[in-house]
Chains A and B, each alone.
Chain A
């Protein structure tokens, strides 16, 4: 039995040796055929990697928001129907306080007013997005002051002219210098820099560090213009929950509370929209999933073309070697021996092409990660998958020529010139 297995293994080794001889004999042709598979495997591997990189990237930016959170917007929730001009959204600071008081499991809340500001210091200037908020923002958004401090309740109560700067803004205005305690002019008014945020890097080319944070009361007094319906209105409310809180339940409770507050009944449209991080994750998983499928589908076309190239060359090879096939049959080769010989030849072509495609994909992926700041993870699994898949392509497209070779009649094959 063991001897039998040994014979089988040695039969495959012989087939590989025969294949290598045949491929070496037509070196140029073999290389060109391999090239087709190489490009195909390169494209598919890179597409898979880019797709999962996108997924990782999106998940990272959602996680950066804070993992267990609901976002409330003053936009009418028209569902699939689109927004009607007469629907007006509302969300006020009083709503925020009501939510904080009446909904259970809340860790912290952070109302938000965003506005573009111009910062000037000693002749240098920078423009950035200012978030007017409360101390809770630090907690729900995972923001920490790397030096100095975050805004405090006292700052909010007194509408203090203080600002916490993101690292990118600091670099633009101060270079390497730690600006805590310095004064910057924001839209002509002097503000004290009380802290610098820890870096959160960038996601999708979006610089998360290009930001300034100030008390919401300050923003309202100095910058909020006519965009809001009332003096107490918010642009957005972050509601951070404790671990283990069910987001769908929390969303239902907040919806009910706000509907009561705005006296919305029956099928009337809510003047607010609630989205949870869970929903964001699901949606982006869906979107990146589709993105990945499309990408892989397009890349697969090149692999298909490579496979057809394999089939073409194998058919040529079978035709050219008809006499050899006849001879081998005369010497005792069974159909399966002939079939396996050509299958192995196709598989060897494909695996060599696949390995080279994989190497180029790893190089390309690394280049994308390094130069385009886009994570392209090519794991061991993808690598092994690429090699197995290319062998499979060889068997698939080499199958027909191989079976055709094995069905030749020995005498007709021997007689062919």
Chain B
């Protein structure tokens, strides 16, 4: 943990976070006592080899997975004592997810895909359409509202997914290998979008195994065998990405 971070500023905070899996009668400790804190406005890359526990860690701070022990606090809210529905509400309001495989609903227009989280936020259809349209506009897809995912390129699909992640104005954007299914040119576009979003003040946490992607972040946390082995601030070289 970087020294001198005031505790009350932490947006994401974990305390002795542990996750065990039972596989074939054997207990595997995927995340092994991780304590760290991420502040508002940070841009964090979480790195590590396959099986290092980085994805499991990510799923727990995204409230998708329940820790075996330890605690996750999001925006000063303890998640341990919340039930499934309360966690769903927390994800809806505070967290935006971007997945490697985009995870868009097939045979559903870009607009309707982006509007899905707003359904669960309880917004009426007019408001949903308006907000989704605005977000797609910001992602440069204002002319693709009625396209289904099958008619969009990979980069466009990921931008729809980002619009969907941001449509509820979350405080954190969690991206799990967001460029894993994209070519390098498109990857750069997506990373550029992340950079811009972070500049606007959105906290971004990216799980990746690609060094170039991680280099875009301000902070790099490396996992191995369920433990954090490195946690460093990166000096920004803005001119390379700008």
- Interface segment out of the listed A4-12, A55-63, A232-240: A4-12
A331–B168 alpha-carbon span in the complex (Å): 10
Proximity string of chain B (111-124) to chain A, C-beta cutoff 8 Å, 1 when within and 0 when not:
00000110111111
Q: Check B64 against A11 for contact (C-beta < 8 Å).
A: no
Q: Is the CB of B117 within 8 A of A410?
A: no
Query: Is residue B88 contacting chain A, with contact meaning CB distance below 8 A?
Result: yes
Task: Say if the beta carbon of A109 comes within 8 Å of chain B.
Answer: no
Q: Does A324 contact B (CB under 8 A)?
A: yes
Is there an interface contact between A411 and B65, defined as CB atoms closer than 8 Å? yes
Cα distance A100–B151 when bound, in Å? 94
| Contact present for B120 and A334 (CB under 8 Å) | yes
Q: Do A21 and B107 touch (CB < 8 A)?
A: yes
> A330–B62 contact, CB under 8 A?
yes
Chain A residue nearest in CB terms to B102: A327
Determine if A331 and B85 form an interchain contact, defined as CB atoms under 8 angstroms apart.
Answer: no
> What 1/0 mask marks residues of chain B from 100 to 141 whose CB sits below 8 Å from any chain A CB?
000101011000000011011111110000000000000000
Contact: A332 with B168, CB < 8 Å?
A: yes
B92 at the interface (CB under 8 A from A): yes
Complex alpha-carbon distance, A329 and B93, angstroms: 13
The answer for the CA separation of A324 and B84 in the assembled complex, in Å, is 17
Asked if A25 is an interface residue, CB under 8 A from chain B, the answer is: yes
Q: Would you give the shortest CB distance from A329 to chain B, in whole angstroms?
A: 6
B57 CB–A CB distance under 8 Å? no
> Is the Cβ of B119 less than 8 Å from the Cβ of A327?
no
Kindly list chain B residues whose C-beta atoms are within 8 Å of the C-beta of A10: 124-125
B161 to chain A, nearest CB (A): 10
> Given A323-B103, A410-B64, is A334 in contact with B89 using a C-beta cutoff of 8 Å?
yes
Given A7-B122, A7-B124, A14-B119: A331 touches B59 (CB 8 Å cut-off): no
Which residues of the other chain, A, contact B89 by a CB distance below 8 angstroms? 332, 334
- Secondary structure call for the A interface: helix
Decide if B120 touches A333 in the complex (CB within 8 Å).
yes
Cβ of B164 within 8 Å of any chain A Cβ, yes or no, is yes
A336 at the interface (CB under 8 A from B): yes
How many angstroms between the C-alpha atoms of A327 and B101 in the bound complex? Answer: 11
B residues less than 8 Å from A7 (CB atoms):
122-124
> Does B85 lie within 8 Å of A336, measured CB to CB?
yes
Does B223 sit within 8 A of A, measured CB to CB? no
Most buried by A among B85, B93, B119, B164: B119
Q: How far is the CB of A406 from chain B (nearest CB, A)?
A: 9
Chain A residues with CB under 8 A of B91:
329-332
Minimum distance in angstroms from B119 CB to a CB of chain A: 5
Are A332 and B97 within 8 A (Cβ)?
no
* Min distance, Cβ B129 to any Cβ of chain A, angstroms: 11
Residues in chain A near residue B125, CB distance under 8 A: 10, 13-14
Report the Cα distance A334→B84, complex, angstroms.
Answer: 7
Q: Which residues of B contact A327 (CB under 8 A)?
A: 103, 105
**Most B CB within 10 A of own CB, among A323, A330, A336, A410:** A330
A200 interface residue (CB < 8 Å to B)? no
Name the residue of chain A whose CB is nearest to the CB of B119.
A14
A3–B126 Cα distance when bound, in Å, is 13
- Residues of chain B within 8 A (CB-CB) of A11 are 119, 122
A211-B25 Cα distance, complex, nearest whole Å: 89
* Complexed CA–CA distance, A1 and B117 (Å): 22
Which of B62, B65, B88, B99 has the most chain A CB atoms inside 10 A of its CB? B88
Determine how close the nearest CB of chain A comes to the CB of B183; give it in whole angstroms: 23
Confirm or deny: A414 has a beta carbon within 8 angstroms of a beta carbon on chain B: yes
Tell me, in angstroms, the Cα distance from A288 to B230 when the chains sit together: 84
A21–B108 CB distance below 8 A: yes
CA distance A139 to B103 in the complex (A): 83
Contact B117 A332 (CB under 8 A): yes
Q: Who on chain A is nearest to B165 by CB?
A: A331
| Alpha-carbon gap, A186 to B240, bound state (A) | 121
A10 to B128, CA, bound (A): 11
Chain A residue numbers with a CB within 8 Å of B88 are 329, 332-335, 410
Bound Cα distance from A323 to B101, whole angstroms: 11
Query: How many angstroms between the C-alpha atoms of A327 and B103 in the bound complex?
Result: 7
Q: Does A337 contact B (CB under 8 A)?
A: yes
Choose one: A21, A324, A334, A414; the contact of B64 (CB below 8 Å). Answer: A414
Alpha-carbon separation in the docked complex, A281 to B97 (Å) = 71
With both beta carbons as reference points, the residue of chain A lying nearest to B90 in the complex is identified as: A332
Indicate whether A149 reaches chain B with its CB closer than 8 angstroms.
no
Any B CB within 8 A of the CB of A259: no
The answer to whether A331 and B116 touch (CB under 8 A), given A7-B124, A336-B85, is: yes
- Residue contact B64 to A332, C-beta cutoff 8 Å: no
Cα distance A414–B120 in the bound complex, in angstroms: 18
Does A192 count as interface, using CB distance less than 8 angstroms? no
Would B123 and A332 count as touching, CB distance under 8 A?
A: no
Q: Check: A328 CB closer than 8 A to any chain B CB.
A: yes
Q: How far is the CA of A334 from the CA of B107 in the complex (A)?
A: 23
Complex Cα spacing A332 to B85, Å: 8
Could you write out 8 A-B pairs with CB less than 8 Å apart? A6-B124, A328-B120, A329-B88, A330-B62, A331-B120, A335-B88, A336-B85, A410-B88
B residues with a Cβ closer than 8 A to A are 59, 62, 64-65, 84-85, 88-89, 91-93, 97, 99, 103, 105, 107-108, 116-117, 119-125, 164, 168
CB-based closest 10 A-B pairs: A332-B92, A332-B120, A411-B64, A331-B117, A334-B85, A411-B65, A7-B122, A334-B88, A410-B64, A327-B103
A residues contacting B by CB (< 8 A) are 3-4, 6-7, 10-11, 13-14, 21, 25, 323-324, 327-337, 409-411, 414
Q: Beyond A14-B125, A332-B117, A337-B120: 5 further Cβ-contacts under 8 Å?
A: A327-B103, A331-B117, A331-B164, A332-B89, A332-B168
